Amino acid sequence: MNFRNPAVRLGLLPAGIALALTPAFASAQEAASGTTDLDRISVTGSRIRGANMETQQPILTMTRETLEKQGFSSVADVLNNLTSAGSPAISRSESLASGENVGGYYVDIRNLGAERTLVLMNGKRLGATTSGLQDLSQIPMSAVERIEILKDGASSIYGSDAIAGVVNVITRKNFDGGEANVYVGQYGNGDGDSEQYSMTLGARGERGSLTLSAEYSKQDPVWAKDRWYSRDGSLGPNSTSANWSPISQNGSWCNPTLYDCEDSPVWQTLNPGGDPTNPNDYHTMTRDEYSNSNEQMTLLTGVKRKSVYINGTYDFTDSISLNTDLLYNERQTFQQIAGYPYQSGSFGTPLSADSAFNPVGQDADFRRRLWEVPRTTESQLKTLRFAPTISGYFDVAGKTFDWDVGALWNRNESIKTNRGDMSLIAAQQALGPSFINANGVAQCGTAADPIALGDCRPWNPLLPYGVDGQGSLADKDLQDFLFPTYTTRGVTKTTSFTANLAGSIVTLPAGDLGFAMGVEHRKEEGSYVPDAFAQSGQSTGLGQKPTRGEYDLNEVYLELNVPLLADVPFAKELTFNAATRYSDYSNFGGTTNSKFGLTWRPVEGLLVRATRAEGFRAPTINDLYGGLSSSFESYIDPCGVTAPGSVAGNAACVAAGAPANYVQLGQGNVPCSTLPCQSGDQFISGANPNLKPETSKSTTAGIVWSPQWVQGLDLSLDWYKYQISDMIIADSVDRILRDCYVLGNASRCESVVRASDGHISAITYGTANLGKMETEGYDLGVKYRLPELAIGQFSIDWQTSYTAKYDEAGQNSAGDAITIGRVGEAGLFRVRSNLGVNWQYGDFGVNYTARYYSGMKENCISLADGWCDAPNHYSNGESDPLRHTGSNTFHDLQVSYKAPWDATIALGANNVFDHKGPLMYSAPNSAFAYYGGFDVGRFLYMKYTQRF
- Segment 852-897, tens digit of pLDDT: 999 999 988 777 666 788 999 998 888 889 999 999 999 999 999 9
pLDDT at residue 537 in the model: 85
Helix or strand (DSSP H, E) at 572 = strand 571-585
Least confident window among 167-181, 232-246, 712-726, 824-838: 232-246
pLDDT at residue 730 in the model: 77
Least confident window among 46-60, 134-148, 248-262, 422-436: 46-60
Please name which of 704, 719, 889, 697 lies closest in space to residue 804, comparing C-alpha atoms.
719
Task: Give residue 398's pLDDT band: very low, low, confident or very high (50, 70, 90).
Answer: confident
DSSP state of 934: S
Q: Say how far apart CA 343 and CA 679 lie, in whole Å.
A: 14
Q: Say how far apart CA 378 and CA 370 lie, in whole Å.
A: 19
Q: Say how far apart CA 228 and CA 234 lie, in whole Å.
A: 10
Least confident window among 89-93, 370-374, 378-382, 681-685: 89-93
Chain-centre distance for alpha carbon 499 = 32
CA distances from 825 to 41, 254, 863, 867 (A): 41, 43, 19, 16
pLDDT at residue 386 in the model: 98
Least confident window among 95-109, 341-355, 705-719: 95-109
Q: Does pLDDT of 716 surpass 60?
A: yes
pLDDT at residue 39 in the model: 52
Q: By three-state DSSP, how is residue 8 classified?
A: helix
Task: Give residue 27's pLDDT band: very low, low, confident or very high (50, 70, 90).
Answer: very low
Please name which of 591, 590, 610 lies closest in space to residue 599, comparing C-alpha atoms.
610
Beta bridge partners of 556: 519, 582
Q: Which residue has the higher pLDDT, 103 or 107?
A: 107
Task: Give residue 31's pLDDT band: very low, low, confident or very high (50, 70, 90).
Answer: very low
Q: Say how far apart CA 175 and CA 212 lie, in whole Å.
A: 9
Q: Which residue has the higher pLDDT, 476 or 8?
A: 476
Q: Does pLDDT of 287 surpass 90?
A: no
Q: Does pLDDT of 166 surpass 50?
A: yes
Q: Say how far apart CA 657 and CA 398 lie, in whole Å.
A: 82
pLDDT at residue 684 in the model: 84
Q: By three-state DSSP, how is residue 589 classified?
A: strand
Q: By three-state DSSP, how is residue 428 classified?
A: helix
What is the arithmetic mean of pLDDT over 582-591?
A: 95
Amino acid at 861: I
Beta bridge partners of 92: none
Chain-centre distance for alpha carbon 425 = 35
Q: Say how far apart CA 884 and CA 881 lie, in whole Å.
A: 10
- Residue 336 in contact with residue 374, Cβ under 8 Å? yes
For residue 854, count CB atoms less than 10 angstroms from its CB and return exposed for 0-12, middle for 13-18, buried for 19 or more: middle
Amino acid at 5: N
What is the arithmetic mean of pLDDT over 707-734?
A: 92
CA distances from 327 to 13, 75, 126, 127, 299 (A): 14, 15, 11, 11, 31
Q: What is the pTM of this model?
A: 0.87
Most confident of 84-88, 96-100, 940-944: 940-944
Please name which of 798, 938, 933, 932 lies closest in space to residue 79, comparing C-alpha atoms.
933
pLDDT at residue 574 in the model: 96
Q: What is the pLDDT of residues 46-59, one digit of tens each?
A: 888 765 655 678 88
Task: Give residue 36's pLDDT band: very low, low, confident or very high (50, 70, 90).
Answer: very low
Q: What is the pLDDT of residues 777-818, one digit of tens each?
A: 999 999 999 999 999 999 999 999 999 999 998 877 666 788
Least confident window among 17-31, 542-556, 721-735: 17-31
Handedness of CA 104, 108, 111, 112 (dihedral sign): negative
Q: Does pLDDT of 369 surpass 80?
A: yes
The mean pLDDT value of the chain amounts to 89
| Extended strands (E) in 50-133 | 59-63, 117-121, 124-125
466 conformational bin, left if phi > 0, alpha if psi -120 to 50, beta if neither: left
Q: Does pLDDT of 385 surpass 70?
A: yes
Q: Does pLDDT of 3 surpass 50?
A: no
The upper half-sphere exposure of residue 480, i.e. CA atoms within 13 Å in the direction of its Cβ, equals 7
pLDDT at residue 196 in the model: 97
pLDDT at residue 25 in the model: 29
